[in-house]
Amino acid sequence: METKWFTLRTVEDKESIAQAADILRRGGLLAIPTETVYGLGANGLDETAVLHIFEAKGRPQDNPLILHIPDASWLTRYCEDVPDAAYKLAERFWPGPLTMILKKKPCVPLRTTGGLETVGMRCPDHAVTRAIIEASGVPVAAPSANTSGRPSCTTAEHVREDMWGKIDGIVDGGPCQVGVESTIIDLTCEPPRLLRPGGLPLEALEDVAGPIAVDRAVTQQLKEGEQPKAPGMKYRHYAPHADLQLVEGETDRVVEVINNLVKEKLAEGKMVGVICTDETRVRYPQGEVRSVGLRAKEETIAHNLFAVLREFDDLNVDCIYSESFSKDHLGQAIMNRLTKAAGYHILNV
């Protein structure tokens, strides 16, 4: 398949927006930029188009897709019994990194929702993408644009690596600002429940919606056969090819332990990666050392995390050791992604 590339940085480029929207209207697959990660979009009401998303990603069919809309006025087209809290949250946080799970209307195919009677709704904070959705006139089902299991894509180049030749178009809207996926909150239960930590911190949500329960799958490894409420949380995710191990503890000790592990692996002839921060970068003399950002500015770490994991795939390292981070605010999402990427392999020192 020929993949068309659109460099699209402004809503003034009406011609490209119309062409991109046309791909969606005709049932094609289009990678779209958002503020969190790139999405692999298709008309969410068209079962065949949606099936093609699952095929291109190699994604299990029971893992539901979320629908992207240009504003909250589209909610009632696809959702039933929308609670007041949904409008309050949309008013405060949309467009932005928040996905709300609501009861679906019959027009939303079960193919899109992985067989569930609920649907995730999101309004992305990317003007070009909202303009494309608006012009297409359809809600856009879009999972993250990575091949299933790989780290998510935060640049159009990452999407090219995973999807070139498999989809109809890629919209290059620049690097994603936030860098981790949206926060998912289920509003079909009382109290509302956090299903996936993401770009919008839980504390900000609670300010508007009151107390929110946290799903077990957010903080703990599920037991064999246990079903999380967000089906996607049960799959190994965000994983680089190499074995990743997280090292947790007081910083000086973490640096020392990682340096010892690196030395050991190098002696075995292995290629070793280290994930650290700007603050500690100079303290690692050996291995492929990459800083994810400033520990003091967690948004820089969220922004760079997936790109660093993908870079280690390109380098073909055998193993990676990573510093760990505070779980406050955006740190909850950062540590959730890192822990999953590590397959819960954590060394406490």
Residue among 75, 58, 279, 54 at smallest CA distance from 150: 58
Residue with tokens 């303290």: 283
Is the Cβ of residue 129 or residue 144 nearer to Mg ion in the bound state? 144
Min dist CB 289 to ligand TXA, Å, is 29
Is the Cβ of residue 94 or residue 284 nearer to ligand TXA in the bound state? 94
Residue 282 CA to residue 289 CA, distance in Å, equals 9
Min dist CB 152 to Mg ion, Å, is 6
Residue 271 CA to residue 107 CA, distance in Å, equals 51
Residue 29 CA to residue 26 CA, distance in Å, equals 9
Q: Any contact of residue 37 with ligand TXA (CB under 6 A)? A: yes
Q: Give the number of residues written for the chain.
A: 349
Q: Of the ranges 57-65, 132-140, 161-169, 322-330, which one interacts with ligand TXA (CB under 6 A)?
A: 57-65
- Burial, 4: exposed, middle or buried (Cβ in 10 Å; 0-12, 13-18, 19+)? middle
Measured at the CA of 160, the angle between CA 152 and CA 272, to 5 degrees, comes to 55
Q: Per-residue x/- marks for ligand TXA, 165-204, CB under 6 A?
A: ----------------xx-x----------x---------
Q: Any contact of residue 144 with Mg ion (CB under 5 A)? A: yes
Q: Any contact of residue 66 with ligand TXA (CB under 6 A)? A: yes
User: Which of 50, 101, 194, 292 is the binder for ligand TXA (CB under 6 A)?
Assistant: 101
Residue 345 CA to residue 332 CA, distance in Å, equals 17
**Touching ligand TXA, residues 211-240 (CB under 6 A):** 229-233
User: Which of 16, 19, 36, 280 is the binder for ligand TXA (CB under 6 A)?
Assistant: 36
Residue among 163, 170, 160 at smallest CA distance from 147: 163
Is the Cβ of residue 126 or residue 265 nearer to ligand TXA in the bound state? 126
Q: Which residues contribute to the site for ligand TXA (CB under 6 A)?
A: 34, 36-37, 39, 63-66, 99, 101, 113, 116, 118-120, 122, 124, 142-144, 181-182, 184, 195, 229-233
